[in-house]
Structure 1
Amino acid sequence: MSTSSRAGGVLAATCISTLVVNANTSAVSILLPAISEDTGTSVETLQWAVTGYSLVGAAVIITSGALGDVFGRKRIFQLGLLLFVGSCVLIALASSGGMVIAGRLIQGAAGSTILACGLSLLTVANTGQAQVRAVSLWGAAAAVGAAAGPLLGGFLVGTTGWQGLFWVDAIVAAACMVLTYFTVAESRDPGRSRSIDYAGAGLIALTLAPFILAVSKGSDWGWTSLATIGMLLVSIAAGYGFVLTERRSAVPLLDLQLLRNRVLVGSTVAILIGAGTINALMYVLSLYFQDANGLGFTALEAGVATLPATVGLVVAAPLVPRWAARLGGRQVVGLGFLISAAGFAVIGFAHASWTYGAFVLPLIAIAVGMGMSNGPASAAATASVPANQVGEASGVSNMARYVGAAVATAVAATVYGQVTADRISGGHADSDALASGLAATSWVMAVISAAGVLMAVVMGRRARAARGTLSDAAAAAASGFHTLPTTAATAGDGTPEPHGGR
């Protein structure tokens, strides 16, 4: 097989698998009401199908890349695809909410593995401008998948049932396994230590899981109850254990020295906030749009209703790197968070009398603001470290996305459910109570987004901006889902720029 045809096979396998993973991820919130009705499991419990996915993804995404470097990127990529197929089949055959959640936990590990190892395979299979084009296409596939997921999920709910999405994804992922087997060459990093920081990955999950459980159940248990405080103490202890483990590990999951890098810390927290708030909003709106006491949409109509957010990202993405190059990366990040906060604040005035038209402009504003904050923040994350640490910086920011999505969605679900329940118990109409829950959730996200403006300050003036090339536009489009290196991380001759931004 020729080198060009082999590179083409790698491009096809990685782009298709990335598209499927992101489509699956973005579609699940749309499916939750249908899954709830079919399995008899409350939507509040099924929240773990979303937060659990992100929680496991946060723990696995860096580890899976390390496993690929040591044991073979093709082998681990194939394992990720196999897990993805298995999890899809498990969910499609599920007769209970517990089986759905279990499948989604497995899917979190599978999805992050596919993304991490797929991108590694792609960069190894190409060099020079071919590599830039391939990675740009991969980023575009990630963005297209995320945009298409709610539409595909909504369509399949009305035709095949919610299970249809997972059967389709299983078939496509299985086809990718076959394509990978015949077209992708094995590769690994022979110079890398064979030590894998499994303890670090486990401690990340052990830090996040009790915290999210406390946030989710605190209102039921009581915020000062033994169960809630116990979960928070376990989370704190696990976090402390993670720090100790990373200090002693030969090849740590997170190089704690990176936390001294002001630009990296600021951009990573900005990424966490941006990814968290948009995921939380999509979760809550998916429920509100489909609730009979909300807008009463079908699943397909709810999927279509998310299009303004997609349009906002698509329109903003090609422009954001150029804005950052002209105005400065941190200025665009700060402005992006302000625009997002304003969009959330508008939804914070939601009333039961609102029709869908009232949501359109705020959704566009939130999406545009997210694109403005995430794009330059992702560029700064990989540009703020020496060339040999770009991969680590990218891994840290990608883990932050999963953490943000898990925590913010749990917070949103708790606020939405608690405020709605309190209003109903207070004698308000169900429609008014539901609108109050949505409004309260949006105000929380507005405050979090406004706090993101501080991250632009933390990033400082040394936050380097991309030049605004086509590959930068693709990286900006994908920045809500994965960090890709941009021209901000390269010198004028195209080689990585050795500066630390510390």
Structure 2
Amino acid sequence: MSGDTGMSTRAGGVLAATCISTLVVNANTSAVSILLPAISEDTGTSVATLQWAVTGYSLVGAAVIVTSGSLGDVFGRKRVFQLGLLLFVASCVLIALAQSGAMVIAGRVIQGAAGATILACGLSLLSVAKKGDEQLRAVSLWGAAAAVGAALGPLLGGVLVGITGWQGLFWIDAVVALLCMVLTAVTVTESRDPTRPRTIDYAGTVLIALTLTPLILAVTMSGEWGWISVGTLSCLAIAIAAGMAFVAVERRVAVPLLDLALLRNRVLVGSTIAILIGAGTINGLMYLLSLYFQDPAALGFSPLQAGLATLPATVGLVVVAPMVPKLAARFGGRQTIGVGFAVTAAGFVIVGLVDASWQYAAFLLPLVAIAVGMGLSNGPASSAATASVPENQVGGASGVSNMARYVGAAVATALAATIYGSVIGNQTADGASPSDALAAGLAAASWMMAIFSFLGVLMAFVIARHRAPTGTLNDAAASAAAHTHTLPTSATARSGSLS
């Protein structure tokens, strides 16, 4: 960004503060699904209700991710970043002290705002503190921290449940976030963008939340209310009205949350939908497997065993992704995206054939296939989002794709949870055994995600030719982090600053 001031920092301070905080946020986010059965047992809240601890986080993150970056540009990136860390600490303490599921959900909603703010402003702080090759290396390290945190979160959560109880994760995260606050206060100099208009699209932020909340509520409660009930139809009507109001507001505000002109870009739209599908399916998968693996009527794993069992999906994705940019450079980005989603769809189809007799070994092949497929599709889709626009629209394109990740995670997790729970309830009512009912629920939800993944294949046909990354080390880091955040690649148009 031009016109940035206060760019000096003490050596390594901003890099350490942003990378550590990003690792913690992503580890916390990916660990929560593993903790849900333990939280349910302690608080007496059903897992179906605690699904809002996952979807509520993503819902608020979708509304806040772009706005928090704008707040940093206007009021100071360090100040807003510190506010995000403070909110994160407060949310961790609230969750750790929670005696009810409602308190856990409330804490996670706050945490959604905090996490999005930390990611958005942390990357901005890093981008103005470094320039040129040094900037690219720093952002690559940030991306690597994000990827490692997301991959190891479920394992970390499983370990801590056995040692400290589920509350331990949040106490540790609170302490680390406090240390990041101190480190930031001591080493990071304030910066802002004086050339940016001071207008903030608060209305757009609220309307995003008003669109997603009733939509997810309708999806979640449809099994109990019925799809044509007054409650469900009312929620859908509110969501549609809020969505229309959002479009109207975005056409009029000086600095919109979403530049609607970007939606005329075919490559950006296709890649954004691909990103939404990828984020939705991986989050839905982790939610379902965390519950299925730990249920006594299924595999009966401990939280630690469940965390280990999900490693082929999480670590596998991060291991495969860095190899993808060179493949995309050779064979084409959209071809790689299409093959990736096809492999992912095949993995979900196999899980859709699950039987109550399956042991963990039967899940390994489809989990590896899903991980490989997502590793192939995530990086090129993220790269296409920023490579498809001119330099002055890169920030907007990145914001759209990052928002899409949160939307995909919220909607797909809610839909997967609803299908899983509804099928289990129906099977149980029909006299099926608990193990058969659970397998049927997992199968039905997996078929839904297989269909979503097939839609991702179709996006490869929507995405036209665009600039491809050359396969540098920085491209590899951006690809590894692509399932959590969009980072620039060698294909991105830029003038030396990232946003």
Contact 1:329 1:376 in 2 (8 A): yes
> What pairs up with 1:52-63 in 2 under 5 angstroms?
52-63=56-67
Q: Structure 1 residue 402 and structure 2 residue 406: aligned?
A: yes
Structure 1 residue aligned with 2:462: 458
Structure 2 residue aligned with 1:64: 68
Aligned equivalents of 2:402, 2:381: Cα separation in 1: 12
Q: Structure 1 residue 162 and structure 2 residue 155: aligned?
A: no
1:269 to 273, 286, 292: 273
Structure 2 residue aligned with 1:483: 486
Contact 1:19 1:144 in 2 (8 A): yes
2:241 to 208, 214, 237: 237
Structure 2 residue aligned with 1:30: 34
Write out per-residue CA displacement over residues 424-452 of structure 1, whole angstroms, 9 at most, x where no aligned residue: 11011000000010011100000010011
Q: Structure 1 residue 209 and structure 2 residue 213: aligned?
A: yes
Structure 2 residue aligned with 1:499: none
Aligned equivalents of 2:362, 2:176: Cα separation in 1: 37
2:230 to 218, 226, 229: 226
Structure 1 residue aligned with 2:12: 8
Structure 2 residue aligned with 1:471: 474
> What pairs up with 1:24-423 in 2 under 5 angstroms?
24-423=28-427
Write out per-residue CA displacement over residues 342-400 of structure 1, whole angstroms, 9 at most, x where no aligned residue: 00000000011000011111111111111111100100101111111111110100000
Amino acid in structure 2 at the alignment position of 1:486: T
Contact 2:152 2:315 in 1 (8 A): no
Question: Post-superposition shift, 1:7?
Answer: 4.3
TM-score (norm. length: structure 1): 0.97
Question: Post-superposition shift, 1:4?
Answer: 8.4
Contact 1:23 1:149 in 2 (8 A): yes
Aligned equivalents of 1:361, 1:15: Cα separation in 2: 33
Question: Post-superposition shift, 1:253?
Answer: 0.4
Distance 1:98 1:180, change over 3 A: same
Structure 1 residue aligned with 2:3: none
Question: Post-superposition shift, 1:464?
Answer: 2.3
Amino acid in structure 2 at the alignment position of 1:200: G
Aligned equivalents of 2:389, 2:10: Cα separation in 1: 32
Aligned equivalents of 1:214, 1:385: Cα separation in 2: 35
Contact 1:56 1:109 in 2 (8 A): yes
Question: Post-superposition shift, 1:311?
Answer: 3.3
Contact 2:218 2:232 in 1 (8 A): yes
TM-score (norm. length: structure 2): 0.97
Question: Post-superposition shift, 1:106?
Answer: 0.1
Q: Structure 1 residue 433 and structure 2 residue 470: aligned?
A: no
Write out per-residue CA displacement over residues 176-222 of structure 1, whole angstroms, 9 at most, x where no aligned residue: 00000000010000000000000000000000000000000011011
Aligned equivalents of 1:384, 1:320: Cα separation in 2: 19
Aligned equivalents of 2:353, 2:51: Cα separation in 1: 25
Question: Post-superposition shift, 1:160?
Answer: 0.7
Could you list the runs of 5+ residues in structure 1 that have no partner in the other structure? 497-502
Secondary structure of 1:41's partner?
Answer: coil
Aligned equivalents of 2:239, 2:341: Cα separation in 1: 29
Aligned equivalents of 2:221, 2:95: Cα separation in 1: 24
Amino acid in structure 2 at the alignment position of 1:36: S
Distance 1:5 1:121, change over 3 A: closer
Contact 1:311 1:364 in 2 (8 A): no
Structure 2 residue aligned with 1:18: 22
Contact 2:148 2:318 in 1 (8 A): no
Secondary structure of 2:322's partner?
Answer: coil
Question: Post-superposition shift, 1:5?
Answer: 6.5
Write out per-residue CA displacement over residues 250-297 of structure 1, whole angstroms, 9 at most, x where no aligned residue: 110000000000010000000000010110010000000000011000
Contact 1:83 1:110 in 2 (8 A): yes
The CA RMSD over aligned residues, in Å, is 1.4
Secondary structure of 1:186's partner?
Answer: coil
Contact 2:143 2:477 in 1 (8 A): yes
Amino acid in structure 1 at the alignment position of 2:336: V
Structure 1 stretches of 4+ moved >4 Å? none
Amino acid in structure 2 at the alignment position of 1:323: L
Question: Post-superposition shift, 1:454?
Answer: 1.2
Question: Post-superposition shift, 1:314?
Answer: 2.9
Question: Post-superposition shift, 1:318?
Answer: 1.9
Contact 2:262 2:268 in 1 (8 A): yes
Aligned equivalents of 2:229, 2:340: Cα separation in 1: 39
Aligned equivalents of 1:4, 1:187: Cα separation in 2: 9
Contact 1:210 1:235 in 2 (8 A): yes
Contact 2:151 2:318 in 1 (8 A): no
Amino acid in structure 2 at the alignment position of 1:343: G
Aligned equivalents of 2:241, 2:109: Cα separation in 1: 23
Aligned equivalents of 1:478, 1:318: Cα separation in 2: 9
Secondary structure of 2:393's partner?
Answer: helix
State, as a whole percentage, how many aligned pairs show the same letter.
74
